[in-house]
Structure formats: structure tokens, C-alpha cells
Copies of this chain bind each other. A is one copy, B any other.
Amino acid sequence: MLKAMQMLISTSSFSSSSHRFRPSVHIYGGFSSISLHPSHSSSVNPYFHAAHASRRFTPFRSSSIRSQSNATPPPPPSDRGCSIKFCQWCGAATKHEIPYGDDKPRAVCTNCGKIAYQNPKMVVGCLIEHENKVLLCKRKIEPSYGLWTLPAGYMELGESAIEGAVRETWEEAGAKVEVLSPFTQLDIPLIGQTYIIFLAKLKDSHFSPGPESLECRLFAHADIPFDSLAFSSMLVTLNLYIEDMKRGAAGIHYGIINKRPGTSPSDIHDFSLDYHWMR
């Protein structure tokens, strides 16, 4: 744990010439084993101009939040539906090929011809501020049993990101919250997830652990358990929040978390924050 150490993360500008883009080149505290020099290559689109490391990665088959609302881990990025063996509409076998007019392999039904697409999922949650403290939940489920997280889970069909974040907060922390503003959007390409975390406040002082939580507790900023957090996304979000508070106000952040291949999903420190935009 390098909680006390201020580490420089390699943060690439995606428009260094724009006055509107203000890259945050320092993230402080709570990080260890961070890649300081990510690869600057992309094999997908030669016109993607900026640094990007994830394309060098081999597939990473575990999702760090797979047991939240939706229990099935997403397929690895290189898969794009090729784990789909049968057609969900007619039950026939699928073949994996690049459909006409496409440039990526998909699972195509050998009978009805329908294509089963798979896309990234959104994880939505709340960073709840209450009397200068932050509400965290200790997980009662795997992965990351016993570790701390912000209340969050997969966004469901038929709800907005805010509604999903409020729902997950109720389910995991028994807390009624009022959303204040968007806070972070963090893409994790290697595991096909985008985290969208809102700042929120308690509507009353009540909270209690839901079925997926062992405990819920308010932590003063200095006491946030950075050495026992459940997910990289929460590590980044909480660090950004602490830094914002030191500056006096919460910003809004977009970032790309590139996890390093071959590490355990439980190693939440092995990643690079390759892009970070804030306002």
C-alpha cells in the first residue's frame, strides 16, 4: 500500500491543444503497481490518435463485479459474442464469422441467420457524502468478499443511469439518496464495463446492509480503507473524490482504466489510468 505516496500516473491528453481539455496528470494516494508507461498503440483504428494500451492485452476472462446485479461475467473483448454457441431465438447452433458489411466476428445463427451482438455494460452507483464522510459497503458476496465498495451494480433495461444508481444504493446499503451530480465515467475496455458514479447525499441518516453487504459504514476521508477496496473503479473514484475535496469542490471526470493482463481480478492496483479528463 502506497497510500501516503503521491504517484504520477501516465495520463494522455486526447486533445492537448484544446483549452477545454485539462488533463489531470496526478492522482494521489492509494495506488500501487501502476503502469507508468502504457503502450501507445491501437490496432483497431489507425486514426485513433492517442495513447491506448488495451489492445496489446490478452483476454481477461473475469469480471471484477460479475456477482452484482447480473451474475454472468461479460465475455472478453476479443470474443465479441463468440462464446455464444446457440441461437437465443431458434436454438440452432451458431457459427462465428464476420457478417457482410461488418468487420468483426459475431455469433451468427446457422438456421435463422440472426446475429447475437454483445456490447459493454454500464455499472451505475453512488458516492454518498454525509457529514464529511463517505458511505461504503463491505461485500457479502464474491468476488471481493469482505472488501469495501461504493454501492453499485449493473444498469437494468428500462431505467436511467441515475435510477439504477439510486436502486443499487437502496438494495446494497438500505439508503434513500438524492443524486447531486454525475461524478465519474470510467471505461474498463478489458472487461467490457463502463462505471458511471454519481455524487449523492442521504435523504435521512438511515442506512443498513442489504443482502449483498456484510456492513455499511461512513468513513472520514482520512479513514477510507484504500488497502481493502473491492474494485479498481472504486479505487480511482475515491481517489478522484479525495483530490477534488482537497481542491474544495467535486469535479466531473472521464477516464479509461486499462487493466494489465494476466493479473488476478482481485488485484485492483494493476492498471493504468490512460486518459483522465475533468472539469
A: residues with CB less than 8 A from B are 14-15, 17-18, 20-21, 42, 44-45, 47-50, 52, 54-55, 70-72, 74-80, 83-94, 101, 104, 107, 114-122, 154-163, 166-167, 170, 176-182, 185, 187, 189-190, 192, 194, 196, 199, 201, 203, 211, 249-250, 252, 254, 256, 275, 277, 279
Known: A49-B176, A85-B90, A161-B187. A154 touches B18 (CB 8 A): no
Closest 3 CB pairs of A and B: A77-B158, A86-B91, A70-B117
Contact A154 B119 (CB under 8 A): yes
Q: Write out the residue numbers on chain B whose beta carbons fall within 8 Å of the beta carbon of A199.
A: 20
Q: Out of B14, B18, B70, B179, which one reaches A162, CB within 8 Å?
A: B14
Contact A80 B158 (CB under 8 A): yes
Q: How far is the CB of A82 from chain B (nearest CB, A)?
A: 10
Known: A20-B249, A120-B155. A181 touches B74 (CB 8 A): no
Q: Write out the residue numbers on chain B whose beta carbons fall within 8 Å of the beta carbon of A182.
A: 185, 254, 277
A254 to B275, CA, bound (A): 20
Contact A15 B88 (CB under 8 A): no
* Nearest chain B residue, comparing its CB with the CB of A93: B91
Apart from the given pairs A49-B176, A80-B157, A185-B196, 18 other A-B contacts in the complex at a CB distance below 8 Å: A14-B162, A20-B181, A21-B180, A45-B163, A45-B167, A45-B170, A49-B166, A70-B119, A71-B115, A76-B158, A80-B158, A84-B89, A85-B88, A86-B91, A117-B154, A119-B121, A158-B189, A160-B256
